[in-house]
Amino acid sequence: MNPLVNDLLRQLADRRKEVGMSARDLAEKVRVNRQTVAKAESGEVPPSLRILTAMADELGCDVRIVPRDGAA
Amino acid sequence: MTTKPPLVPHPTVVKLRELRTAAGLSLQGMQEEHFIPAVVIGSYERGDRKPSVNRLDEILHIFGYELVAVPIGSTVLPSGQAHVWTHDEAATVLASIAAFLATDGPTRVDPAVLADVTRRIAEQRTGGAG
């Protein structure tokens, strides 16, 4: 698993807990099963871009492209 | 039965060509230097195929970028940090813009748009209907 993507997924998992949403609720909103959300958050199975952005959207976040630290 | 609107591809994908050219990389260069087939990158750029999150991040990494999740409504600063505007900050900025618009200088900002944004912020502050 790409460590940068892992960070992003961890951010979203933290955000879900912050807003008090269960993995089941998030899965229902994104229209996937709970296992997909759980495996995405743990980094076990990276989600598709569609699911990632849908998860972020439901959690009140945008997925953006930003310059990498230290990149030219 | 309620039907949710279809999920649309995220706009991050459409910027790939722009980012690649800004990095001075050709499709052929991506293939030769980074071992990602030119036809694959081309299909991502055209939107014919959607990259996996890992593949997208791999490509962005080559271009000097990364994916982050930021709260909706925040501004990503040049440093890459997300800044969430407080209502007071937003109000100050809007007041500055309004003052600018009130001058005789040339402007391309539609005052009606500004009024709409101001109204939305006011609604948020008061917990009004969104």
Spatial neighbors of B107 by CB under 8 A, at least 6 apart, are B100, B101
Q: Are B73 and B84 in contact (CB under 8 A)?
A: yes
The ranges of chain B with pLDDT < 50 are 1-11, 13, 129-130
Amino acid identity at A27: A
Q: What is the pLDDT of residue B8?
A: 40
Closest alpha carbon within chain B to A9: B69
Residues of B in contact with A68 (CB under 8 A): 60-61, 64-66, 80
Tell me how close the Cα of B68 comes to any Cα of chain A, in angstroms. 5
Closest alpha carbon within chain A to B22: A72
For B15, counting Cβ atoms within 10 Å of its Cβ (0-12 exposed, 13-18 middle, 19+ buried), the class is middle
Find the mean pLDDT for residues A38-57.
88
Q: What is the pLDDT of residue A33?
A: 94
- B69-96, pLDDT tens digit by residue? 877 766 666 565 666 666 676 677 777 7
Residues of B in contact with A47 (CB under 8 A): 53
Query: Which uninterrupted H or E stretch holds A62?
Result: strand A61-67
A57 φ/ψ angles, rounded to the nearest 5 degrees: -60, -45
Shortest CA distance to B93 belongs to which of B71, B70, B109, B72? B109
Q: What is the pLDDT of residue A44?
A: 87
Mean pLDDT score of chain A, rounded to an integer? 85
- Find the CB nearest A68 among B50, B64, B69: B64
Least confident of A24-38, A56-70, B53-67: A56-70
Q: Are A71 and A42 in contact (CB under 8 A)?
A: no
User: In a mutagenesis test of the B interface, which of A16, A18, A66, A68 is the best target, namely the one with the most B β-carbons within 10 Å?
Assistant: A66
Please answer yes or no on whether B67 and A67 come within 8 Å at the CB atom: no
Between B100 and A31, the more confident residue is: A31
Q: What is the pLDDT of residue A72?
A: 44
Find the mean pLDDT for residues A47-70.
83
Shortest CA distance to A12 belongs to which of B55, B79, B68? B68
Q: Which residues pair with B71 in a beta bridge?
A: A61
Q: What is the pLDDT of residue A4?
A: 58
Q: What is the pLDDT of residue B125?
A: 59
Please answer yes or no on whether A65 and B12 come within 8 Å at the CB atom: yes
What is the length of chain B? 130
